Amino acid sequence: MTTDFDRSSYWRGVRDGLPFVLVVGPFALLFGVVATEAGLSLFETMTFAITVVAGAAQFTALQLMSENAPTFVVIASALAVNLRLAMYSASLTPHLGALPLWRRALAAYFLVDQNYALASARFDRQPDMTTGQKFAYFMGAVTPVAPNWYLWTLIGAWIGKSIPPELALDFAVPITFLAMLGPMLRTGAHVAAALVAVACALIFAFVPYNLGLILAGIAGMMTGARVELWMEKQGVS
């Protein structure tokens, strides 16, 4: 299985990832603003963005830090939100597992929601792609996303509170996840998991430190697994 880098696959990934620029920019800008409002310095904000590279976990940790939540709760909540990345990794291992170690490490660092959604769909549609083509597409899909995440976080941290609240930058957060979630609801198990997770998130909204989201995520995963097993037994696709 060849692991050569394929330029055409890379540029196809770049083209597919470009639409996410429209939401990643405001998302990152909002994080930069919120981080500085919470008391983080420019250096701390950028270090946070570059080392974590996970918007949902960053917002979760930042909110809990601003509420003076215990350090353990902050770390546990951020890790729980990022558990989906472990599932992403397991899903992509059959496609990228044959890569050299340095390429796997690079793919692991740049594994985010946007390029996972694109890569997963592309690999399912084109199972005959080589490992090199898959890696090139994966890296191409994240190319418009990661630099814009860093850039707009920096801009947000720089300008801070000067952004008028009327711009409502927080619209980018739900839109980003809706854009990624929709195409991934391909089976009844996916839909059931999403519905249960949403319902539980609303039911457990009263739980302090956003721990209700962790409960909702666990409930959604359990539901999806059970429904998938039931569908396999019934022979339903």
| Tens of pLDDT, residues 139-160 | 999 999 999 999 999 998 988 7
In 3-state terms, what secondary structure has residue 78?
helix
Q: Give the pair of three-digit tokens for residue 237.
A: 């696709």
Query: Exposure pattern of 56-86 as b/e (b: 16+ CB <10 Å)?
Result: bbbbbbbbbbeeebeeebbebbbebbbebbe
Q: For residue range 83-94, what is the model confidence (pLDDT) as tens digits?
A: 778 888 988 999
Same domain, residue pair 87 and 110: yes
Task: Let me know if residue 2 belongs to a domain.
Answer: no
Task: Let me know if residue 45 belongs to a domain.
Answer: yes
- pLDDT reading at 211 higher than 80: no
Same domain, residue pair 98 and 133: yes
Quote the domain boundaries for residue 175.
7-184
Same domain, residue pair 119 and 201: no
Same domain, residue pair 142 and 165: yes
pTM: 0.73
Asked which of 164, 184, 204 is the last residue of a domain, the reply is 184
Residue 178's pLDDT band (cuts 50, 70, 90): low
**Whole-number pLDDT of residue 191:** 85
Same domain, residue pair 103 and 199: no
Same domain, residue pair 97 and 191: no
Question: Other CB atoms closer than 10 Å to residue 226's CB: what's the count?
Answer: 14
In 3-state terms, what secondary structure has residue 212?
helix
Same domain, residue pair 67 and 180: yes
Element (H, E) at 234: helix 211-234
Instruction: Count up the domains in the chain and report the number.
Output: 2
Same domain, residue pair 196 and 155: no
**Whole-number pLDDT of residue 218:** 83
